[in-house]
Amino acid sequence: MSRIIVAGGGHGGIAAASLLAKKGVDVTVYEKNPENGMGYDWTDIFDPKAFREIDMPMMPVTRFEYKEHMTFYSRNELTGLRQQIPPEKLEIKVERSDLYRHIIKYARENGVKFEFEREILGPLTSGSRVIGVKTDKGNEYADLVIDACGLDSPVKKNLPASCGVNPETGKNNQFYVYRAFYNRATEDEVEDKYKVCLFGEGILGIAWIATEKEYTDLLIGRFEPFTKEETDRAAEFYRMNNPSLGRELKRGGQFVKIPVRQPLSKLVCDGYAAIGDSAYMTVPIIGSGIANCFRAAKMLADVVTDDTDRAFTEQTLWKYQAKYYTKLGAGYAVLACVKEALTLFTPDELDYLFDNGVITASDLSIDADTRNIFNIMHGNTLETYKTKVVEVVKDPALLKKLMRVGAKISAVAAVTSAMPRLWSKARVRAWVKAYETVICRGL
Ligand SMILES: Cc1cc2nc3c(=O)[nH]c(=O)nc-3n(C[C@H](O)[C@H](O)[C@H](O)COP(=O)(O)OP(=O)(O)OC[C@H]3O[C@@H](n4cnc5c(N)ncnc54)[C@H](O)[C@@H]3O)c2cc1C
């Protein structure tokens, strides 16, 4: 029987472990945290259909609720664009700790073994093949290592260059986030229960203020790291227009990072496959990654169980990469260009786009089924497109910027569609080089 190590208890890693153990594979998850310290002390939103897609039971109805529609504002807060998402596409909101309890219980029922409080220090390799992991309590060997250690995975970062897996995340490709739940300072009815402010303080970044029954959830996200003092200043700034945001810290209050970029150019090498944040599987414009890594888990588990020779080479695992890019990755690679466009606009330009109908509520109605740019664009009518064109043409500087975004979208779409579906060393190396060249090219 083959032995598989899941490095880090990421959502995708645990889901893949469950699916593999169900098929009789010997799988162990090594996680640095204790079992009761998994995840963060806050809630997450994701597509509930993802449970069904990986044959995992849904969480009990008492443990989730449906998410509120978000209302987006640019800096001047003149135009609020509220999402229009049909009920069947609404995502659910769960406590992250509950989600972890649910998936770990299910994984154990399927035979997955967990080793908590085991820190992974890096991969063990023989030539360019990964043969296990170094941990703080000794080496562990396996036929395949699934890397679910997150954005800063020490496995990915310490792979030999000959594996061809690029560990660099790149500028503006990770979001530095502070998230905290404060007391709800007023009982007054709040119109925009889930308010998202783009460039709120005139700074490149976002904030959300989500007013819940018991607390108000504040998230501040920027492309550069920031300090606790800046967070406190930002919180005071948002309190001016959001009286529900109190000062008493109830939960959370941590700095974290979220990848917001194109998927990793090479998800696999001999004896290794990356999943979840270590492979940049989030939806780049909103940073949601849970449903996608569940879906990727199914793709990976299918490819691993189809490899009856248990070779787990780059060649056999490439089918996982091909499936991922075909079903999700290619669409997200293009959506990452839309995120990149945000870094191009000034706060005044964004106000203009909001206030003149260039960005519409429909554009921001990202739902459980948003997988590519067409899913976002299809909600606009011919009339709204005419308005967009007329308003953009009025501003030559803006038009120029949008044309650069358009050119990058076309280049990324072209290079992702050229990804070899069948593995050959030379073709894969050439494609990875071309993909990285295109995505690294600034706007
Ligand atoms: C503030 C915030 C809000 C988010 N909100 C949402 C949301 O609403 N919806 C959504 O879909 N997604 C959300 N995400 C993204 C989501 O958390 C991730 O995309 C998703 O969890 C997949 O990440 P992961 O499990 O691969 O990585 P991680 O969540 O980073 O998990 C990695 C695991 O590996 C462990 N680990 C790391 N290093 C080591 C090591 N050296 N040794 C052993 N173990 C190690 C970690 O302890 C952790 O358990 C949010 C992320 C953040 C930060």
- pLDDT of 307 > 80? The answer is yes
What tokens does 44 get? 């997450």
Specify the pTM.
0.96
Nearest CA to ligand 1 atom 13: 288
pLDDT band with cut points at 50, 70 and 90 for residue 400:
very high
- pLDDT of 441 > 90? The answer is no
- pLDDT of 368 > 80? The answer is no
Distance (Å) from CA 144 to ligand 1 centroid: 21
Nearest CA to ligand 1 atom 49: 9
Nearest CA to ligand 1 atom 24: 10
- pLDDT above 90 covers what percent of the chain? 91
Distance (Å) from CA 149 to ligand 1 centroid: 8
Least confident of 25-34, 82-91, 214-223, 415-424: 82-91
- pLDDT of 80 > 80? The answer is yes
Distance (Å) from CA 36 to ligand 1 centroid: 15
Distance (Å) from CA 10 to ligand 1 centroid: 6
Encode pLDDT of 214-251 as tens digits: 999 999 999 999 999 999 999 999 999 999 999 999 99
Report the C-alpha gap between 264 and 197 in whole angstroms. 29
**Domains of the chain from N-terminus onward:** 3-66+89-167+260-329 (3.50.50.60), 174-259 (3.30.70)
Distance (Å) from CA 403 to ligand 1 centroid: 35
Using most ligand atoms within 8 A of CB, pick from 29, 32, 102 the residue to mutate for ligand 1.
Answer: 32
Using most ligand atoms within 8 A of CB, pick from 30, 33, 35, 44 the residue to mutate for ligand 1.
Answer: 44
How much is the pLDDT for 370?
84
Q: Which residues, 6+ apart, have CB-to-CB distance to 280 below 8 Å?
A: 151, 169, 173, 259, 261, 262, 263, 264
Of 262, 266, 328, whose CA–CA distance to 296 is shortest? 328
pLDDT band with cut points at 50, 70 and 90 for residue 171:
confident
CA distances from residue 140 to 7, 122, 175, 372 in whole angstroms, order as listed: 11, 11, 33, 39
How much is the pLDDT for 396?
94
- pLDDT of 313 > 80? The answer is yes
Encode pLDDT of 265-283 as tens digits: 999 999 999 999 999 999 9
- pLDDT of 29 > 80? The answer is yes
How much is the pLDDT for 367?
81
Of 257, 296, 298, whose CA–CA distance to 279 is shortest? 296
Distance (Å) from CA 44 to ligand 1 centroid: 11
Encode pLDDT of 110-164 as tens digits: 999 999 999 999 999 999 999 999 999 999 999 999 999 999 999 999 999 999 9
CA distances from residue 286 to 1, 239, 359, 437 in whole angstroms, order as listed: 40, 23, 16, 24
Nearest CA to ligand 1 atom 3: 44
How much is the pLDDT for 379?
81
